[in-house]
Structures are given as structure tokens and as C-alpha cells.
Amino acid sequence: MEAKLSIWSYYYYELTAEEAVKEFKKHGINCFELSDEHGAELLSRGNPRETGEKFREFLKNENFTVKQGHLWLSCKLVTDPEAVERLCRWIELYEAVGIENAVLHCDPVAEQNELTDRERYDLNIEKLKLIEEYAEGMNIRICLENLTRIARDADGLLYVLSRLSPERFGICLDTGHLNLFGGGQREFILKAGRHLKALHIADNEGERDQHMMPFGKGSVDFKEVVKALKEIGYEGMFNYEIPGESRAPLEIKGYKLEYISKCYDYMMKNF
């Protein structure tokens, strides 16, 4: 398995995207997932393609990799009539940056509680087909993330993907979300198989989404996670999404990154 260590960029929430790159590099991290927050910051600068190309050139000069990004986090794909149009701007920006796997949440359509899960999926699929059409010819894949109110397991996500282009869509496993649902990490990974293109590595105690790094007081079995990833030959980013670790002084966050790097090396070698 060739899964490069990556950290969600808003770990450095107090910094711009460019400043975060430089801070990560100080501690030996040369890759991150562009967060929704930093994505919104870049979008606010003007033309999405021009901004993305400029940031891509900055990354090249810094010898830094950004192949995964989180699209608009609060997007209501079905219930917001402007969602698809706005998402297209995000996709244009991310493709210009060089992001290959962009994570997106399905809309739980919570306002219509009488709907079945299948009906909610079908409503999302209608909108995702519009995104599929827009992204035709682009070098970017939309990775749908497992959540707690919709798409809780691999079966639901695979149903959605079966109605879409396999070249344009994939799956993002969030280990923390799956732990809240009580799902098996190994089972999810093996079912997702070749469709698994992105990861949100996070831990929690099973009651709320704490976004902690592994090997603390959380209950995710990361040995099971890594072994299953190796079994399917996963080659995406081994990306930590850990805002629960970010409320600390810059110096302390740097020490945490060094610990995370050592844990990553240990898992890749021993699991």
C-alpha cells in the first residue's frame, strides 16, 4: 500500500492556506487535504481557475502536495436550489489546484422525514448527475463520504455510485463517523474496495464526533483499518481529519505533528 501521510489543512485554522503549507513543512509534513475553510478562503480571492492555478504554482515551488480536498462542507445538495451552481465553482478551483479527489457530503434531506433512505439517495443522485456532467473531461473525482444521517455504510454509498460514472465518483471513508454508527471498519473498506479513493482518519469514543488522532482514548481499531487498506491495495492519501487536536499553541501543534508522523510510520510498518 502506498498511502502518503496527509493532514487536514485547517489543523492550522489561524493561518492562511499558504502559511499552513509552510508550517506543516517545518514538521516534516509535505501533504495536506485542502479543508472546506481554506477552500472558501481561496474562493473569496476571485476567479476560481486563476486563483487555483496561482495556488498550484505556489505548491509546486514549495514541493508540497495537495491531491485531496473537502468541498463545501455545509452544502445542501438537494434542498438548496443554488447548491450545484456553487459547487461547480468549488470544483473548478480544486481542479485548477491539482486536487484529484474532492470529498462531498450527500444531503440527508432532513426536512422530508417521511422519505425512505432509497428516496433520499435518488434525490441526491439527480443532483450528482448534474455535477458529473459539469466535470466531464476534468481530472477530478468526487468522493462521497459516509455520514451519520445518510450514507452511513458502504452499501448506501455503493448504491449511489452504481448510478454514476465510476471514473468521476468514489468513496471517502471517515473512520470517526463509522465508529459513531457502530459499523465495522474492515467490512466497510472491503466492501468499498476499488471505489475507496479518500480517507478521513479520526478517532472518537463512540458518542460524538471528537475528531481525535489515533491511540488516545478513542475506540476505533486502527490496526483493523490499516490491515484492510493494505488488503485492498489502497493508494490514496492517509489523511487525518483531526480538528479536536487543533486547539493548542503553534509550538504544541508542531509536536503533535511529529508524534502523528511517528504513529503513521509505526502503523505502516507493523500493521
Write the CB contacts of 44 (distance below 8 Å, at least 6 apart in sequence): none
- Predicted pLDDT of residue 3: 87
Rounded CA separation 82/253 (Å): 37
C-alpha to C-alpha distances, 239 to 40, 45, 118, 195, 217, nearest whole angstrom: 20, 26, 30, 17, 20
pTM of the model: 0.97
Cα–Cα distance, 241 to 211 (Å, whole number): 7
Residue 2: the pLDDT is 75
Q: How many residues does the chain have?
A: 271
The mean predicted confidence, pLDDT, of the chain is 96
Name residues whose C-beta falls within 8 Å of residue 12's C-beta, 6 or more positions apart in sequence. 19, 20, 23, 24, 246, 250, 253
H/E segment holding residue 18: helix 17-26
First to last CA, the chain: 11
pLDDT for res 164? 97
In the prediction, which pLDDT does 144 show?
98
Distance, CA of 98 to CA of 254 (rounded, Å): 26
Report which of 205, 171, 155 is spatially closest to residue 68, judged by C-alpha positions: 171
**Could you report the per-residue pLDDT of 212-265, keeping only the tens digit for each?**
999 999 999 999 999 999 999 999 999 999 999 999 999 999 999 999 999 999
| % of the chain surpassing 90 pLDDT | 95
Coil, strand, or helix at residue 67?
A: strand
Q: CA–CA distance from 98 to each of 85, 105, 158, 177, 267 (Å)? A: 20, 21, 26, 27, 28
Give the pLDDT confidence of 80-94 residue by residue, as tens digits: 999 999 999 999 999
> For residues 194 and 171, what is the distance between their CA atoms, to the nearest angstrom?
9
- The domains located in the chain, with CATH, are 5-270 (3.20.20.150)
What are 2-50's pLDDT values in tens digits? Answer: 789 999 999 999 999 999 999 999 999 999 999 999 999 999 999 999 9
pLDDT tens-digit map of 114-158: 899 999 999 999 999 999 999 999 999 999 999 999 999 999 999
Instruction: Please give the Cα distance from 65 to 60 (Å, whole number).
Output: 8
User: pLDDT per residue over 102-124, tens digit each?
Assistant: 999 999 997 667 899 999 999 99
Nearest one of 215, 155, 225 to 185, comparing CA atoms: 225
Secondary structure (DSSP) of 79-110: T-TTHHHHHHHHHHHHHHHT-SEEEEPPP--T
SS3 for 209? coil
The pLDDT value given to residue 110: 79
Cα–Cα distance between 85 and 89 in angstroms, integer? 7
